[in-house]
């Protein structure tokens, strides 16, 4: 890994100044996902623009247990108002029937940009959009590894033409570790700076096969258990994935055909490469026991051993 000594103070001042200069007297909007990238953009944007920046949190039905309200509250505590927008039905109907990973990601992207966020932007009258793209997103998208929803400009799509707004990407020179460093420099709450990475299409990336309300409930319950059990693990990222395959099992002496949850926990500094975390055996056993006992219809729990590459962190 390259070692770059970053001057956080200078970075923050430059970005705030550049946002101010670009936006001028206009208004800007940004979507907060709760992740460290969009959180830092929100903080930088509000320092630069104050009430000229409108921040929305879109509930896409794909978030974790209690997450939308928790994120809004964290920012309220910092004096930053965030508008919570309920778009759950729109996302669920866009995802209905889709099983192809690309189509699923595309459905989330299109629903977000073209429908929900596009509408919010038009209603707000904002001309500028602040976005949390980081360097790794750009690199992986260019390399064809990842299809990111937030880097339209880098993909050669003219955002002005495509969605009706201009995009500012103040973090596009940073990797994940740089973003965390700036968050710590700004003394943002640990639930922001230390938050484990969570992808844009959220729990939809952790469901192989169709994304339905019921399957979201299953992976959400598993995610809750995994995050609770691994919050002190010190790992870079940890998650639960619901497979589409089922496997035989026995419960109350009867044959059943149950669902399968994969636990993934990784070590990484910047998400470009990763290795599976060596978790203590009794911790793995406890997670497995909780998942098969507390979640209806799940009878297998697997631990992902694979590094990135050749696996990615997420499953779709």
Of 103, 278, 294, 296, the one binding a copy of itself (CB under 8 A) is 278
Q: Which is nearer to a copy of itself, 79 or 310 (CB)?
A: 310
Q: Give min distance, CB of 195 to a copy of itself, in A.
A: 23
Please report whether residue 234 would count as binding a copy of itself according to CB under 8 A: no
**Distance (Å, whole) CA 8 – CA 187:** 12
Please report whether residue 92 would count as binding a copy of itself according to CB under 8 A: no
- Residues 105 to 144: which contact a copy of itself by CB under 8 A? 143-144
Of 3, 77, 232, 255, the one binding a copy of itself (CB under 8 A) is 255
Please report whether residue 155 would count as binding a copy of itself according to CB under 8 A: no
**Distance (Å, whole) CA 220 – CA 237:** 16
Q: Give min distance, CB of 242 to a copy of itself, in A.
A: 10
Q: Which is nearer to a copy of itself, 39 or 259 (CB)?
A: 259
Region of residue 259 (left: phi > 0; alpha: psi -120 to 50; beta: else): beta
Q: What angle do CA 139, 14, 72 make, to 5 degrees?
A: 75
Q: Give min distance, CB of 79 to a copy of itself, in A.
A: 40
**Distance (Å, whole) CA 120 – CA 126:** 9
Q: Is the dihedral of CA 77, 81, 82, 84 positive or negative?
A: positive
Identify whether the C-beta of residue 7 lies closer than 8 Å to the C-beta of residue 13.
no
Q: Which is nearer to a copy of itself, 119 or 251 (CB)?
A: 251
Q: Is the dihedral of CA 192, 279, 199, 131 positive or negative?
A: positive
Please report whether residue 101 would count as binding a copy of itself according to CB under 8 A: yes
Task: Tell me the window of 9-17, 178-186, 218-226, 279-287 that interacts with a copy of itself (CB under 8 A).
Answer: 279-287
Instruction: Give the number of other Cβ atoms within 10 Å of residue 311's Cβ.
Output: 15
Number of residues that bind a copy of itself (CB under 8 A): 49
Of 103, 247, 269, 296, the one binding a copy of itself (CB under 8 A) is 247
Task: Tell me the window of 25-33, 44-52, 116-124, 294-302 that interacts with a copy of itself (CB under 8 A).
Answer: 294-302
Q: What angle do CA 41, 44, 50 make, to 5 degrees?
A: 115
- Residues 195 to 214: which contact a copy of itself by CB under 8 A? 208-209
Could you tell me the two tokens for 251?
A: 């419960």
DSSP H helical segments within 164-233, as ranges? 176-185, 190-193, 213-230
Q: Which is nearer to a copy of itself, 40 or 239 (CB)?
A: 239
Instruction: Write the CA distances from 314 to 209, 215, 238, integer angstroms.
Output: 14, 17, 10
Q: Give min distance, CB of 275 to a copy of itself, in A.
A: 9
Q: Strand, helix or coil at 70?
A: helix
Q: Which is nearer to a copy of itself, 52 or 136 (CB)?
A: 136
Residues that bind a copy of itself (CB under 8 A): 101, 143-146, 208-209, 243-251, 253-258, 262-263, 276, 278, 281, 284-285, 287-288, 292, 299-312, 314-316
């Amino acid at each position: 890994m390259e070692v770059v000594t970053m001057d956080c103070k200078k970075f923050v001042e430059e970005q705030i100044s550049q946002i101010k200069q670009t936006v001028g007297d206009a208004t800007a909007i940004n979507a907060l996902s709760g992740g460290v990238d969009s959180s830092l953009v929100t903080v930088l944007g509000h320092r630069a623009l104050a009430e000229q920046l409108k921040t929305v949190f879109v509930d896409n039905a794909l978030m974790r247990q209690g997450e939308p309200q928790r994120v809004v509250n964290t920012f309220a505590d910092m004096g930053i108002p965030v508008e919570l927008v309920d778009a759950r039905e729109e996302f669920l109907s866009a995802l209905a029937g889709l099983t192809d990973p690309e189509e699923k990601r595309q459905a989330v992207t299109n629903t977000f940009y073209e429908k929900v966020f596009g509408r919010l932007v038009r209603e707000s009258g904002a001309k500028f959009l602040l976005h949390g793209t980081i360097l790794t997103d750009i690199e992986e998208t260019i390399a064809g590894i990842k299809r990111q929803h937030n880097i339209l400009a880098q993909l050669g799509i003219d955002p002005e033409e495509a969605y009706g707004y201009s995009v500012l990407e103040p973090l596009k020179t940073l990797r994940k570790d740089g973003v965390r460093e700036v968050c710590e420099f700004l003394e943002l709450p640990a639930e922001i700076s230390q938050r484990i990475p969570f992808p844009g299409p959220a729990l939809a990336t952790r469901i192989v096969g169709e994304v339905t309300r019921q399957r979201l409930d299953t992976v959400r319950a598993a995610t809750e258990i995994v995050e609770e059990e691994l919050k002190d693990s010190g790992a870079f990222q940890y998650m639960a994935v619901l497979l589409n395959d089922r496997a035989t099992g026995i419960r109350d002496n009867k044959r059943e055909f149950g669902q399968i949850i994969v636990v993934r926990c990784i070590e990484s500094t910047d998400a470009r490469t990763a290795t599976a975390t060596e978790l203590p055996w009794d911790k793995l056993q406890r997670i497995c026991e909780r998942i098969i006992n507390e979640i209806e219809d799940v009878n297998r729990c697997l631990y992902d051993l694979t590094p990135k590459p050749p696996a990615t962190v997420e499953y779709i």
